[in-house]
Amino acid sequence: MAGQTLAEKVWNAHLVSRQSGEPDILYIDMHLLHEVTSPQAFDGLALRGRKVRHPELTLATEDHNVPTSDIFRPIADPVSRAQVDAIRENCRKFGVKIHALGDPGQGIVHVIGPETGLTQPGMTVVCGDSHTSTHGAFGALAFGIGTSEVEHVMATQTLRLRPFRTMAVNLIGTPQPGVTAKDIILAVIGRIGTGGGQGHVIEYRGEVLAGMSMEARMTICNMSIEAGARAGMIAPDETTFGYLKGRTYAPKDERWDAAVEYWRTLRTDEDAVFDRVVDVDISELTPYVSWGTNPGQVAPLAATVPAPGDFADPVKRAACERALEYMDLTPGQPLAGIAVDTVFLGSCTNGRLEDLRAAAEVLRGRRVAGGVRMLVVPGSERVREAAELEGLHQVFLDAGAEWRNAGCSMCMAMNPDFLQPGQRAASTSNRNFEGRQGAGSRTHLVSPAVAAATAVAGALCSPGALPAAESLPAQHTAEV
Amino acid sequence: MEAFRIHTGRVLPMRRSNIDTDQLIPVRFLKRLTRTGYADGLFAAWREEPGFELDRPEYQGATVLVAGPEFGTGSSREHAVWSLLDHGFRVVISSRFADIFRGNSLKNGLLTIQLDQEVVEALWERAEQAPDQPVTVDLEALQVRAADLTVDFELDPYHRMRLLEGLDEIDATLRYEDAVRAFEATRPSWLPTVEVA
Ligand code: SF4
């Protein structure tokens, strides 16, 4: 028998039933909930007199709607407040634990799962949110589901699914200094396209991963969905185990040893066959940025805005034309130097401690350009606390940026943080769709380091292109 | 879920690719607590542009949306499906769908059909030339039929059966209770559990 890929191993270990002609019944180890995609599912349960089968395998948080300043005041928008009230009430009724706004455990659902050790190798993790792919960084099979499926998981702790196809993305070579996980994943999406991963679980492979932190791996897996994939995975290794050890929900004592022994088996067998293999050379990569209105419309920051005529495929050509009009860009214009109004550092893609450190590194001794607003929004309250312990918040504040409480914030315009029509942002989030950050908003996806440099320059800029920072008073250069 | 067997309706051609979920329904419309009431949210941003396809007089009452590749990319929001249904669409045809959107649609009785881009183009041309000409989407025969064009399509037999019968999936899964219990007895003890509220 041929070997199995990592994704197949995890799938097979969760197979409850396989009947010919029907999708498999797959067991779900952890179900995460947030306020936007759950109310109709809870309603459905209530309507049929059903319960949440395993509240102890379910955890809720508030992230999409919540304000990131003045969080102890009642939520001003009555509709957002109703949604937040609904999830609190539903969790109370159905016995589900919730990290409500103001709770030290609150944060973006894909940040709090990993940071508490709730996401572990080999698990199946689902959430009514497409960026559930983030959790695949631990070697979990983690994917977003719709509200009907949320209800199905709550009622049965399972899902009905046909096995996903498997795809290997081999990251070849070693990146140049200054190239981050975000640049790598933007380049991968540019290469395979927004539909390239359709129906597949991507397993990222390559030597570069061994040297990558869990945060960086999460950034990569997070954006698998932008390549159209159901999930992204990275085989667990010592870095994974080291990250998990001692965290709240990580196993302890003998159970830890048993778990690690099992986790070590979670890698693709030598003789396993992927349905599709894509090689991406990352050795020549430089910082990447999006120029258009889908995450496949990306280019090196050092390049120029493409012209519709650069695309042979008529569908892509039309998409480019429309995107340039929406983004108000001209073919041939250098990407570096495009002026922005706003810089957003945060989201489940780049709102973790390492991301804040990378941006602070660039901002130390520098100031956000006049007329530019920079919003720094930690992915969770724990990230915020850790950043404040290191004094990162002071770096941001000294530079003239805003330091906020945790939430999705300006990643999507569902809370008080959004752009005005026509405004342009450099954003560390994951989607540059039309209107994503507010009606008429224009988004350029970037890494945290590029976001910080852009804030200083007032225009898209790589950190290497900034003039030297001023020397600083001692407390601002504290070790991180 | 309403059953789906055969549907005849007019086509709304949308010559666009990457119609993502933020276009289908912008986030400001996601704050309702119900499964209905999303018709106003459908393509809300584009509807502000004069001449947007959805609002052109010749396409009023269209129930079959035909679009370019990467339809429904982006978020998992089922609201995207609900808004299409609320507006009156019963079928979406595209040369490629995002997976989560496709799954959501089939669970709500919105039939999503994947056809080659050439067929999509042919349907666009016909609808633009003769907006009054209906197409018939036949789930029993797995066929899309226009005046001078008949194409077969594929659909997972399980989803087809569920749509034809309007079956509730949770009921179907609950019949496997014994298998689920047997599986649960084998789960390793190190797996995490959360305190119950
Ligand atoms: S940060 Fe953005 S992408 Fe992530 S869960 Fe929140 S809204 Fe979704």
Question: For A126-185, what is each residue's pLDDT tens digit?
Answer: 999 999 999 999 999 999 999 999 999 999 999 999 999 999 999 999 999 999 999 999
Number of Cβ atoms within 10 Å of the Cβ of A92 = 11
Least confident residue range of A2-11, A278-287, B167-176: B167-176
Residue-wise pLDDT tens digits, A331-385: 999 999 999 999 999 999 999 999 999 999 999 999 999 999 999 999 999 999 9
Q: Using a CB-CB distance cutoff of 8 angstroms, which residues of chain A are in contact with residue B45?
A: 434-435, 439-440
- Predicted-complex ipTM score: 0.92
| Record: contact B16-A322, CB cut-off 8 A | yes
Query: Hey, what are A34's tokens?
Result: 């947030």
How confident is residue A16, by pLDDT bands cut at 50, 70 and 90? very high
| Record: contact B27-A413, CB cut-off 8 A | yes
How confident is residue A475, by pLDDT bands cut at 50, 70 and 90? very low
Q: Using a CB-CB distance cutoff of 8 angstroms, which residues of chain B are in contact with residue A57?
A: 193-194
Convert chain A into a string of H (helix), E (strand) and C (coil): CCCCCHHHHHHHCCEEECCCCCCEEEECCEEEECCCCCHHHHHHHHHHCCCCCCHHHEEEECCCCCCCCCCCCCCCCHHHHHHHHHHHHHHHHHCCEEECCCCCCCECHHHHHHHCCCCCCCCEEEECCHHHHHHHHHCCEEEECCHHHHHHHHHHCEEEECCCEEEEEEEECCCCCCCCHHHHHHHHHHHHCCCCCCCEEEEEECHHHHHCCHHHHHHHHHHHHHHCCCEEECCCCHHHHHHHCCCCCCCCHHHHHHHHHHHCCCCCCCCCCCCEEEEEECCCCCCEEECCCCCCCEEECCCECCCHHHCCCHHHHHHHHHHHHHHCCCCCCECCCCECCEEEECHHHHCCHHHHHHHHHHHCCCCCCCCCEEEECCCEHHHHHHHHHHCHHHHHHHHCCEECCCCCHHHCCCCCCCCCCCCEEEECCCCCCCCCCCCCCEEEECCHHHHHHHHHHCECCCHHHCCCCCCCCHHHHCCC
Cβ atoms A344, A451 nearer than 8 A? yes
pLDDT at residue A477, as a whole number: 41
Residue B20 one-letter amino acid: D
Of all protein residues, whose CA lies closest to atom 4 belonging to ligand 1?
A348
Does any CB of chain B come closer than 8 Å to the CB of residue A39? yes
Candidates A129, A182, A427: which one to mutate for ligand 1, based on the most atoms within 8 Å of Cβ?
A129
Residue-wise pLDDT tens digits, B88-108: 999 999 999 999 999 999 999
Q: Nearest residue on chain A to B170, judged by CA atoms?
A: A152
Q: Using a CB-CB distance cutoff of 8 angstroms, which residues of chain B are in contact with residue A256?
A: 190
| Record: contact A95-B100, CB cut-off 8 A | no
Which is the closest atom of ligand 1 to the Cα of A34?
A: 5
Residue-wise pLDDT tens digits, A229-267: 999 999 999 999 999 999 999 999 999 999 999 999 999
Does any CB of chain B come closer than 8 Å to the CB of residue A210? no
pLDDT at residue A474, as a whole number: 43
